[in-house]
Amino acid sequence: MILFNEQNKVFTIHTANSTYQMKVSQHGHLLHLYYGKRIVDEDVSYLIPNVVRSHESNPAEAGVDRVYSLCAYPQEFSGNDAGDYRIPSIEVVNADGSYAFVGKYRSHKIYSGKYRLSSLPTLYASNEENAETLEMILKDEVTHAEVKLLYGVFYEKDIITRAAVFCNHSEGDIHLERLMSANVDFMTGDFDMIGFFGHHYLERQTDRRHLSHGINEIGSFRGVSGHFHNPFAILCDRNTNEDTGNAYGFALMYSGNFVFDAEVDGYSQTRIAMGIHPKQFDFLVRKGECFEAPEVVMAYSDKGLSKLSHSYHDVFRQNACESRFVRSERPVLINSWEPFGFSFDSEQLIKTAEISKELGVDMFVLDDGWFGARDNAKAGLGDWVANEKKLPGGIPALAEKIHSMGMKFGLWFEPEMINEDSDLYRAHPDWCLRVPGRDPARSRHQLCLDLSRPDVCEYLIEAVNKILDDGSVDYVKWDYNRYVCDVYSSYYPPERQGEIYHRYILGLYRIMDGIIKTHPDILFEGCSGGGGRFDGGMLVYFPQIWCSDNTDAPDRLTIQYGTSFMYPVSTMGAHVSVCPNKRTKRTVSFKTRAVTAMHGTFGYELDPAKMSEEERKECAEYSAFYRKHQKLIMSGDYYRLSSPYDDSIFTAWQFVSKDGTESLVCVVTEDILINDKNSYVCLRGLEENAFYRIEETGQVLSGAALTNIGLLLPHSQPQYSAFVFYLTRIEATVVSR
């Protein structure tokens, strides 16, 4: 619900449980007043103290008023070089060489439905959805350049999206050197910040810290959202936990360089700014042109972190990706990478598919190594033509065999990359990013194709579509295995080189539109050296993303735990692999690996021909178990019952169906359950005055007992044991006996 009070010039956005308020000041600046728990007040500008902040600048239009200061007042969009010394929302170099931009309110529009951006992925709202948009124009009165602030409101989900569009209506060209997508100034609050850091093989580890005075920053300058820091952060009260306290989420719908800043100033006010990383960003916006900054998805919860996650899970399940696969059952798959790497032949692949079929697997995925001269990582990338020595008859012949078994067939691509040892490189050495006169850095022996070039994008769309167009492929794993550097494109003049990082991402979205959106019957899964590009922008294209190359179950507990704060379980690719695990050398039971992999889109990365009879039996059982509970896992409310980082000797999570009738509880112990200590898992999301039947134990217990006392775990179990409990609610039962 978006309201505008004409008299006070106050904009109020309400969602079911939150309120966001802004006010146009007497001098035309747009002040941010409030974001938090829903309130009825029409104007909370009383929060701004009537005090002279000595030494702060006062804009000329304030005359002798020494109170009015852009730095002491909370801003909705902070200008530049006009006396707000905190992180600016914008930095420009105007045609006359000046740096100033001061946006003042000019006009606004409120309409039902959700805005979209023309060049970047955004959330969408269906016609039935209660979504609204506020567009507000801020104008610099001297240059006439404008910024359009966009607000999208998903009322029931407590989600407000933000984006900004800069339009150069000045008389000359303007260099845009920074444009934040969102700025939020909190006048009150003493916050913790939760970020998600990591590296290849250990993505999205949870990091909670108290904000210190100064700038607290996370970001990526790797050309990609990356393994190191996820473009998602939470701000919360110091005592916020899973169930209580204020929590705010900020997620960027962008897959390239990003920054999230939380600046605590000298008055202990907190400014949040999120957007494209300004380093090496210099976009020339010519007279009459516009530039779009990516969308930020903000969520607020007054009931702790679980509720915040539920808002994100719901909106990312329903409003991000338009693929029909988002809402359909996902196939249980087997992937060739971990068992075979680059060395395989058709016969071996067919045999693997045959055995897998008996184990309840729906789809065989051929990973890296099927194309060009790709016998190792040194050659072939760019040559998207099947290697007939390994695969006589090419992809159609193999796909036909797999299909004739009643299975689906999937294929791996890494479209954005090129090996120097490839026909593509020999034909177009200028098609990769490279700084003139410098030998570029290699990573995994590969270079990045220059996706800022339209001809490269067109080539990739055509080359990949050539394989996909005949209908042999049911699933694509879209990989991306290095970071970007040597960022220079021979296609653009020197003064436009500051645009290349962003133009690369625009090119990427262009090829994804040209490949993914033109193949609605193919399920696409994102990947980047595991989970190195797990972000909101990618989720507009991919219903699921491979969570990590680390398939060791205990490590996966922390990876999946961190990922779950924003991303729904339905988006996380998770597979069972062999033990000892190839990376960590750890051995855990098949059950533990399977239960951990059921925290996502389930599958296998192993050679079933090498499995024992016992393992094959287990494999078939877990494929069936997953299929039976997939709907609940994919669409239920998800609860983190314990953290893999706390003192608890187990990590547990729970799914509760939206109608409350069923629930699945999964537990992995991280210590030995010894004889002298009882371990109870307290459940959540249940009705306290209902009874639940637990399939595995035959017990019938009340929601109150399960929530407040908990389930008793069996004694004397080795470290890394796993348990699942399936609960069904018994209708018409009363607790007060």
* Active-site residue (options: 56, 292, 450, 535): 535
Here the tokens at position 642 are 């314990």
Coil/strand/helix, residue 57: coil
| Residue indicated by tokens 């990591």 | 198
Which residue's CB is nearer to ligand GLA, number 311 or number 481?
481
416 forms part of the interface with ligand GLA (CB under 6 A): no
Q: For ligand GLA, which is the closer residue by CB, 59 or 410?
A: 410
Binding residues for ligand GLA restricted to 548-577, rule: CB under 6 A = 549
The minimum distance between CB 197 and ligand GLA, in angstroms, equals: 19
Q: Does 600 bind ligand GLA (CB under 6 A)?
A: no
Q: Which stretch binds ligand GLA (CB under 6 A): 205-213, 522-530, 667-675, 725-733?
A: 522-530
Give dist(CA 117, CA 103) in Å, integer: 21
Tell me the Ramachandran region of residue 36: left when phi exceeds 0, alpha when psi lies from -120 to 50, beta otherwise: left
Residue 371 interacts with ligand GLA (CB under 6 A)? Answer: no
Query: Quick one: which of 146, 158, 479, 555 contacts ligand GLA (CB under 6 A)?
Result: 479
Q: Which of residues 345-364 bind ligand GLA (CB under 6 A)?
A: none
- 529 touches ligand GLA (CB under 6 A): yes
Query: What residues form DSSP beta bridges with 137?
Result: 107, 148
DSSP 259-275: EEEEEE-TT--EEEEEE
344 binds ligand GLA (CB under 6 A): no
What is the 3-state secondary structure of 653-703?
A: EEEECCCCCEEEEEEEECCCECCCCCCEECCCCCCCCCEEEECCCCCEEEH
Question: What are φ and ψ of residue 341, in 5° steps?
Answer: 55, -130
As a whole number of angstroms, the distance between CA 211 and CA 217 comes to 10
- The per-residue DSSP string of 277-311 comes to --TT--EEE-TT-EEEEEEEEEEEESBHHHHHHHH
- Residue 381 CB, shortest distance to ligand GLA, in Å, is 10
Could you give the CA distance from residue 55 to residue 66 in angstroms, rounded to a whole number?
A: 10
- List the helix and strand counts (H, then E) for the chain: 12, 37
Q: Which of 68, 300, 337, 364 binds ligand GLA (CB under 6 A)?
A: 337
Shortest Å, Cβ 360 to ligand GLA: 22
Please state the closest distance from residue 383 (CB atom) to ligand GLA, in A.
15
496 φ, ψ (degrees, to nearest 5): -110, 10
> Which residue number, 583 or 616, has a Cβ lying nearer to ligand GLA?
583
Q: Which residue in this structure is represented by tokens 């893999």?
A: 644
Choice from 101, 155, 412, 622 touching ligand GLA (CB under 6 A): 412
The least CB distance from residue 514 to ligand GLA, in Å, is 22
Residue 242 found at the interface with ligand GLA (CB under 6 A): no
Q: With CB under 6 A as the contact rule, which of the stretches 10-18, 139-147, 311-319, 526-534 interacts with ligand GLA?
A: 526-534
DSSP 401: H
- C-beta of 481 vs 669, nearer to ligand GLA: 481
Q: Which is nearer to ligand GLA, 337 or 723 (CB)?
A: 337
CB count in 10 Å sphere of residue 143: 21
Q: Does 203 bind ligand GLA (CB under 6 A)?
A: no
Residue number with CB closer to ligand GLA (148 or 482): 482
* Binds ligand GLA by CB under 6 A, chosen from 368, 450, 499, 662: 368
> Segment contacting ligand GLA (CB under 6 A): 35-43, 496-504, 523-531, 576-584?
523-531
**615 is an active site residue:** yes
Query: C-alpha distances in angstroms, 369 versus 336, 340, 363, 383, 408?
Result: 10, 10, 18, 11, 19
CA distance 20 to 452: 37
Among 527, 594, 668, 690, binds ligand GLA (CB under 6 A): 527
Residue 241 beta carbon to ligand GLA: minimum distance, rounded to whole angstroms: 34
* Catalytic site residue from 615, 621, 670, 687: 615
Minimum distance, C-beta of residue 377 to ligand GLA, in the bound complex (Å) = 7
DSSP single-letter state for residue 646: S
CA distances from 403 to 350, 387, 395, 400, 472 (A): 11, 20, 12, 5, 9
Which residues are near ligand GLA by CB under 6 A? 337, 367-368, 412, 479, 481, 527, 529-530, 546, 549
**Residues annotated as catalytic (active site), given as ranges:** 535, 615
